[in-house]
Chains A and B, each alone.
Chain A
Amino acid sequence: MPVKIKQIIIRTVFFILCAAILIATPIVVTVKKSSASNKTSDFMMLTIWQVDCFEGGKGSRADYLQNLGNKFKEAGGCHIKVISLTPAAVLQNLDAGNAPDIISYGAGICGIDNLISGRGQTVWAHGGYCVLSVDENADFSDISVQNTVVNGGKDNFADAAALFCGIGGAKNETPTEAYVDLINGNYKYLLGTQRDIFRLKTRGLGFKVRPVDEFNDLFQIISVISENTDKVAYGKKYVEFLCKNSNQLTKIGMLGDIKLYDDELSALEGVEYGVKLTSPLSQSQKDEILAAIKNSDIKKLKNLFK
């Protein structure tokens, strides 16, 4: 074989080998990476603390997050474990050095502002205040401090909603007491939430609804707070998954960014709120808000909620 042809063959073989190595390397790397990441997700578990700071609609928000967590795993995500905690238990656990990877909370919680600072806050569901009446002649034109009872809720600012509605100082009662007072006719109106709509529906009572668009703090927010990079990545994917599935919020009677209801609850959908609270507060901020509510200082309240 002439030397030139030999050289050409050697060069061609060398070129093909180099090309093969170049092409194959990324494939091998990709395969290895994907297999490693699948393995990680097989065992990785994100712990979510679900904190109920305000009454939901129906069912359990923790169960909802867990069920979606199971679907997230099936869809290639990681394991999700949801624990339901009270706001007080959250603070006690944080004091004891226990922290989750993700926390889902209402804006009314206080004391976790440092924990979630700079971590991103996504609203995954919300509720809404409304005025309800079981009086068939009610037209909401005569709402007053005297004829309206306020569902005090949990760690939400129901009295701020009353103040913004012009009925600051109306009687504030526990959720059940307020509801019972309404159906017993002790009050013509109830300043309540989506939860009261479900209460009335469950009882089969006819009722009228007027949404409160002046104020809302009934937002369920989620933040990924893990320090582990892999967990943060999966946590963010879970939050995306949660938001993508907002059409399932009917299961817990909560509201989302899309239209979900065609019954009485639809009155609370698509409302533009004058004042919103979508971030947790420090204890001093909460104290200032409570003082402003007590003094019926709407102007200050608006500033504090900014």
Chain B
Amino acid sequence: MNKTNIKKLYSLTHTDNFDLSKNTTYGLGGMCRAAFYPKTEEEAIAAYCELKSSGEKFFVLGRGSNMLVSDRFYDGYVICTSKLKGIFLTGENQLTCLSGTTVSELMNFTRKNGFSGTEFLAGIPASVGGLTFMNGGAGGKYISDICESVTVFSDKLHVFDNSACDFGYKHSIMRDINCFILSTTLTVETSTCEKVTQNISKYLHARLSIPHGKSCGCVFKNPQGLSAGKLVEECGLKGFGIGGAKVSPEHANFIINCGGSADNVYRTIKFVKEKVYEKFGVLLEEEVVYIGDFNDSYG
């Protein structure tokens, strides 16, 4: 236990023996040593630096919506961005959101102030930092479409403009480098409260077709020119599952946790990958991020 190395961090709001299963959309995950909740960018830098220099294992957790966390004990720490919130107007058509700001908070802000352009994100159970990290989005639109710049901390502060973020399909440079996303600046358009509310309702309505149940959203990235869900479906895997994990009968790119374990979900993902590869020769790439160790034997 290297608690002494990071004891300064215990002055931050924290939870010892943090239960990850209560903080991921899958509802899965084991315990970890502790979670720290920075409220300011300085506290976030402190947490990141201290943990990095301590050599301890750690990861940054937003809303836990695109990850599968092992049920085993995670012998490390978590930096939760859930208290690192705030939206600032930085220009006539520019908003800067601290990374823990949730999509729903962003929607409330834009609706109240009559800014359009972010409505396509409505209903995504994610933080702005998490969306930036994954270049998340919906309906063919991505956060990169409205991202002006991202402020990150690695060894020092960096402000990446949109092109420096190297955004791609479900990718940003932040996935390739070891860094902490502090804030994202978005470009918006002046609109009216009514219009923005209408747009948000439209996008929320479109999300009603998304499978219900505990999931991480889409498990696989779409291969170039193909639909991952369609490939899985054509393998006859809709409804298939191992243990309490099940490929959604509604959308085959969703694997639902119906009361199983993280290992069950993991094995189901691996099984689906194998079957798609056997049938189509296409190796699906996971969009979901794995945290911790998994048992991938089907036995």
Q: What residues of chain A have their CB less than 8 Å away from a CB belonging to chain B? A: 42-45, 47, 66, 69-70, 73-74, 79-86, 88-89, 92-93, 96, 98
Contact = CB atoms under 8 A, between A and B. Distances in A.
A74 B151 CA distance: 18
Interface stretch (B38-46, B116-124, B162-170, B280-288): B38-46
Contacts of A47: 41
B139 interface: no
Given A86-B92, A89-B90, A92-B89, A81 B157 contact: yes
Contact of A84 (B42, B43, B90, B182): B90
Contacts, number: 55
B113 to A, nearest CB: 9
Contact of B157 (A80, A88, A89, A98): A80
Contacts of A83: 88, 90, 96
B42 A98 contact: no
B90 A73 contact: no
Interface of B: 41-43, 45-46, 49, 86, 88-92, 94, 96, 151, 153, 156-157, 159, 182
A2 B43 CA distance: 65
A67 to B, nearest CB: 10
Given A83-B90, A85-B90, A89-B92, 16 more contacts: A42-B46, A43-B43, A44-B42, A45-B42, A45-B45, A45-B157, A66-B157, A69-B157, A70-B156, A70-B157, A73-B156, A73-B157, A79-B45, A81-B157, A84-B90, A98-B86
B18 to A, nearest CB: 22
A96 B46 CA distance: 26
Which of B49, B88, B91 has the most chain A CB within a 10 Å cutoff?
B88
A133 B270 CA distance: 72
Contacts of B41: 45, 47, 81
Main secondary structure of the interface of A (DSSP, over half): mixed
Contact of B91 (A45, A85, A98): A85
Contacts of B156: 70, 73-74, 79
Contacts of A85: 90-91
B94 to A, nearest CB: 8
Contacts of A84: 90-91
A50 B46 CA distance: 25
A110 B80 CA distance: 39
Contacts of B92: 86, 88-89
B164 to A, nearest CB: 12
A93 B159 contact: no
A98 B88 contact: yes
A251 B281 CA distance: 54
A86 B95 CA distance: 12
A182 to B, nearest CB: 28
Which of A42, A43, A80, A88 has the most chain B CB within a 10 Å cutoff?
A43
B45 A43 contact: yes
A89 B91 contact: yes
B157 A93 contact: no
Contacts of B151: 81
Nearest to A92: B89
Contact of A93 (B45, B49, B89): B89
A43 B49 contact: yes
Contact of B49 (A42, A69, A81, A92): A42
Contacts of B96: 83
A48 to B, nearest CB: 12
Contacts of B90: 83-86, 89
Nearest to B159: A66
28 contacts: A42-B46, A43-B45, A44-B42, A45-B45, A69-B157, A73-B157, A74-B156, A79-B42, A79-B45, A79-B157, A80-B157, A81-B151, A81-B157, A81-B182, A83-B88, A83-B90, A85-B90, A85-B91, A86-B90, A86-B91, A86-B92, A88-B92, A89-B89, A89-B91, A89-B92, A89-B94, A92-B89, A98-B88
